[in-house]
Structure 1
């Protein structure tokens, strides 16, 4: 199906919005009136610009407070409409959105509303224009899609149809199945938006918190299925009012928007892109650093051994058990010191995973490699992290470790078994995009978002995981995006946490100190075996429980933008110690700047 996006969904000037929409692969746009009014371009120039970009102008919007008003007010509305229809002729748009009235002058009279909309449609038809009547969820007298359709059906005018908007329908809890009673040819337009499930005034909810399909809590796909059963063949168009999107760069936002529609079309069976290839494990985590010595000291204290070096690049492989960390000291400038720059994901079909990523607009990264290097495909996540699709000991597929030359025998003195999970801090304007990206491109399951109190604001976190938990990525965004501690990334290592913490300290490593008040509270909430709580207090180990089991974890000090976490899951624990995050964050703020990197 054709895809479209309202210019109000993007930031910048009208020209910038049109360019971003075209580059992201949209077929058309809805021109929001305020964007046109603020543009120095004439309607003819906007029309020509859209044509040059390969965009159609699918809708001009909105016309407000038109129907069910006194005769003198309606006369003024007709005068206004004549001007707008002439403007649309110059613009090359043939459909206009008319929102249900919120005017205090409007009366509760469906017959009058139908009669006045029919007269407006007469005028529109003379100009070759169609009117799409939409029920605003906060409309004064018309606030549901079935009520709006009743008025359109009563008017019975060929130039008058309805516009369905997923937000207005789903935010009110209306049953979308009734959409199937509307003839497809009378649905003149379909606007789509998702939203988080919030208990708040619907107008404020709509104006500030809409998001792209798949990023909120609405069943947008279910609504679209009902619409498609009517025979509707118009575009799928996004109309998203969102404060974050309006402050973000238009280009990446438009790509995120287009990706959401591609996933939606796949979900409802309109398209069949390459199927997701769900990763089966973490092959490696790659740290980039201007100084390998502190990283080597940290890994060595944890029991990692430098086992191999890349044949042609300044990259060392450190390993313990199945946990592998690459340390890259290449020439790229790293203003923030050590960073978690890349993740190797075990894949049963690396080429298929790359095809899926490319079909969903994940940027495929160029890779400098020697002819003998393993052919690894990599894409960029929204936060810039490189994701490599890898095979390790998988028959018939190139093993990425073939690029490395052994320098030492592998040993496991620290008892670390594997990478348990990875923590990636997102730019504040990419959080929702990141969740959709990891779910749609990688086929991971996105858990519910968690909001946590940070000493300097609010931390929002959402985990994505594969079915057996062998891939876990915790995505988070902090309230203070310029703060190095809040923005720290981390690698969590599965181990026997008490033994590993003791060995780490004995080797000269420093663990994050946790305030005594935390352990006083822990003693009040849970019972522990003799000496258990004292051990946790001594080593800075935190504790959590859920319905499935227990979780023990502790942290190294932050190095650059990275810290390591030692974790132990018992009895099927599924979380990440979220309730301990405020304590960890406060402790990291306290010791911030102690280490370099």
Structure 2
């Protein structure tokens, strides 16, 4: 697989973009005309830089408004083309993207379009240049890849082919199956982009909301399968117009983009059972082994866990780390991070084969994490997520055996018995899509639901990533651009939250205070369906409540300690949500608490 990326996908100047593309492992680039025009480096200097970086300039783009025009306009088009052919020769590339006309077309006639594209192709052929004709989704007359292919066939020039762009095809709802009817040798280039399912005009959708593969709603696995079945053997290139990606760190975005292509190629190969090199098999998580909280001073977290009823299991025999547990829920406190407030910093997952999981993660570009282990200690392979969160894998056959490395714990278990229900992760607005792709591609989690929660500083977008059986759930929260990153929290599920709350209250823990108006609203919303005695318990203990047709959800929140807090939850019946209706109240209560 040869990989490529359009420079429009990235922030910064052209030289910065090229360095980032090479560092991320791309084989080539599409040079955007606007990026070159804005660069102080000459085409020859850009060509030399690409050669030094090991990047091939796969295509120069775009050339617009060619076909379907009057003779006077077309004469000027040929003049413009000659000037751009000069630039291409200086860059050392032989392929130009020609977009279907959106601005100057006045003639809706395939024969005219073919004749004009043919004449342009003849001009290009004299310079050794090929043209890839692409149907834009908002083209004046040509907005369907099938019509673009018919025009290419009518023009019948060896140096004129087509470019297939997943966004332009899938955003219009066109059936990609007909791609297999195109001669693979005449598919000169392939551009890939994902996108969310939005109801808006296609031009705005394209210009602002494209995503990298694996982050949106398009079935790119099936799309790419059709392209490869047609016989295409050129680069897989990304062309993603996105306001966020054009503002984020260029190196990080390039690495993010490269991961998406690796993931898509592997998914497509698996779906079609092609005998090509594949990534190591995904390792679905069988459970959460532990969650790690790290920071300089964690005494307040120790106290809170004790008040909640967790059991102190001891200190690690060789590291400044201690362990608390509540049944199968295990929380590690790590004081090796200096000058940092407490935060959720690591996650341990149980899988069938930890080594395979780590190998797959590294193949997808996740850097390995090194932690010193001594003789007799269990080694857990790990990588760093894009935000620095460390992900560890342990074999299901030896799950929890590392617990024996902790010494001096309490002999009598505490009163709380539970499991990790979910771990809520907060991200800055510019890293949200990257986090979703990492969870899907590296952790083998699937997207469950997306919600927007109104908070005191704007809408918080939440995307749940989970295993099919729900034993691992990671809600990923996106902070509004002007708001701080949402604190992360660990939710422990138990069988009796009311009882656990009373014990914690008796131990001196005060939960996040909820307003009286919240409980009045619960009474109004649920009426007689909500047991009055339970409602009084909720009021007394600052508990939260939700219900649906499947069951009930009772939960409580602790105060924050640095950048982390805890939640106790009880699921009754088949309730499978997260108490979304209470989330806006919780956000306001946390802001009021400071």
TM-score bracket for this pair, using the shorter chain length: over 0.9
Inter-CA distance 410–160: structure 2 relative to 1 (3 Å threshold): farther
Match of 1:44 in 2: 44
- What are the within-5 Å matches in structure 2 for residues 40-439 of structure 1? 40-269=40-269, 271-334=277-340, 337-391=341-395, 394-395=397-398, 399-413=401-415, 415-439=416-440
Q: For the Cα contact (< 8 Å) 2:69–2:104, is it kept in 1?
A: no
* Residue number among 532, 542, 548 corresponding to 2:550 in the alignment: 548
Q: Which runs of 5+ in 2 are unaligned?
A: 270-275
For residue 312 of structure 2, give the secondary structure of its aligned residue in structure 1.
Answer: strand
Measure how far apart 1:370 and its partner are. Answer: 3.2
Q: For the Cα contact (< 8 Å) 1:551–1:570, is it kept in 2?
A: yes
Q: For the Cα contact (< 8 Å) 1:492–1:566, is it kept in 2?
A: yes
1:543-585, Cα deviation, whole Å (9 max, x unpaired): 1223432211110111111110010011122111122211110
Measure how far apart 1:541 and its partner are. Answer: 1.5
- What are the within-5 Å matches in structure 2 for residues 516-535 of structure 1? 516-526=516-526, 527-535=529-537
Measure how far apart 1:404 and its partner are. Answer: 2.3
Q: For the Cα contact (< 8 Å) 1:274–1:355, is it kept in 2?
A: yes
Residues of 2 paired with 1:525 and 1:281: CA distance? 35
Match of 1:442 in 2: 443
For residue 221 of structure 1, give the secondary structure of its aligned residue in structure 2.
Answer: helix
1:99-146, Cα deviation, whole Å (9 max, x unpaired): 111124532122111111000000111111100011111111111111
Q: Which runs of 5+ in 1 are unaligned?
A: 593-597
- What are the within-5 Å matches in structure 2 for residues 562-577 of structure 1? 562-577=564-579
Match of 1:595 in 2: none
1:55-80, Cα deviation, whole Å (9 max, x unpaired): 11111000011111111111111111
Residues of 2 paired with 1:215 and 1:402: CA distance? 40
Residues of 1 paired with 2:4 and 2:30: CA distance? 7
Measure how far apart 1:249 and its partner are. Answer: 0.7
Q: Number of aligned residue pairs: give it.
A: 585
1:259-279, Cα deviation, whole Å (9 max, x unpaired): 111111111115411001112
Q: For the Cα contact (< 8 Å) 2:295–2:339, is it kept in 1?
A: no
For residue 247 of structure 1, give the secondary structure of its aligned residue in structure 2.
Answer: coil
Residues of 2 paired with 1:159 and 1:186: CA distance? 9
Inter-CA distance 126–177: structure 2 relative to 1 (3 Å threshold): same
Inter-CA distance 260–561: structure 2 relative to 1 (3 Å threshold): same
Residues of 1 paired with 2:267 and 2:324: CA distance? 41
- What are the within-5 Å matches in structure 2 for residues 433-472 of structure 1? 433-472=434-473
Residues of 2 paired with 1:410 and 1:186: CA distance? 73
Match of 2:488 in 1: 489
For residue 563 of structure 1, give the secondary structure of its aligned residue in structure 2.
Answer: strand
Residues of 2 paired with 1:250 and 1:573: CA distance? 42
Match of 2:539 in 1: 537
Q: For the Cα contact (< 8 Å) 1:283–1:324, is it kept in 2?
A: yes
Measure how far apart 1:480 and its partner are. Answer: 4.9
Q: For the Cα contact (< 8 Å) 2:385–2:391, is it kept in 1?
A: yes
Once structures 1 and 2 are overlaid, which stretch shifts more, 153-162 or 270-279? 270-279
Q: For the Cα contact (< 8 Å) 1:383–1:427, is it kept in 2?
A: no
For residue 429 of structure 1, give the secondary structure of its aligned residue in structure 2.
Answer: helix
Q: For the Cα contact (< 8 Å) 2:176–2:226, is it kept in 1?
A: yes
Residues of 2 paired with 1:480 and 1:505: CA distance? 36
Measure how far apart 1:482 and its partner are. Answer: 4.7
Inter-CA distance 481–499: structure 2 relative to 1 (3 Å threshold): farther
1:472-508, Cα deviation, whole Å (9 max, x unpaired): 111111115653xx52110001121111111111110
1:205-233, Cα deviation, whole Å (9 max, x unpaired): 00000001110001111111111111111
Q: What's the C-alpha RMSD, in Å, of the aligned pairs?
A: 1.5
What TM-score comes out, normalization by structure 1 length?
0.95
Residues of 2 paired with 1:460 and 1:325: CA distance? 27
Q: For the Cα contact (< 8 Å) 2:547–2:553, is it kept in 1?
A: yes
Q: For the Cα contact (< 8 Å) 1:492–1:565, is it kept in 2?
A: yes
For residue 580 of structure 1, give the secondary structure of its aligned residue in structure 2.
Answer: helix
1:503-528, Cα deviation, whole Å (9 max, x unpaired): 11111001111112222221122122
Residues of 1 paired with 2:436 and 2:548: CA distance? 24
Measure how far apart 1:383 and its partner are. Answer: 2.2
Inter-CA distance 192–404: structure 2 relative to 1 (3 Å threshold): same
What TM-score comes out, normalization by structure 2 length?
0.96
Once structures 1 and 2 are overlaid, which stretch shifts more, 277-286 or 187-196? 277-286
Measure how far apart 1:333 and its partner are. Answer: 2.2
1:86-106, Cα deviation, whole Å (9 max, x unpaired): 110110111000111112453
Residues of 1 paired with 2:400 and 2:312: CA distance? 22
Inter-CA distance 184–79: structure 2 relative to 1 (3 Å threshold): same
For residue 435 of structure 2, give the secondary structure of its aligned residue in structure 1.
Answer: helix
Q: For the Cα contact (< 8 Å) 1:449–1:461, is it kept in 2?
A: yes
Measure how far apart 1:371 and its partner are. Answer: 4.3
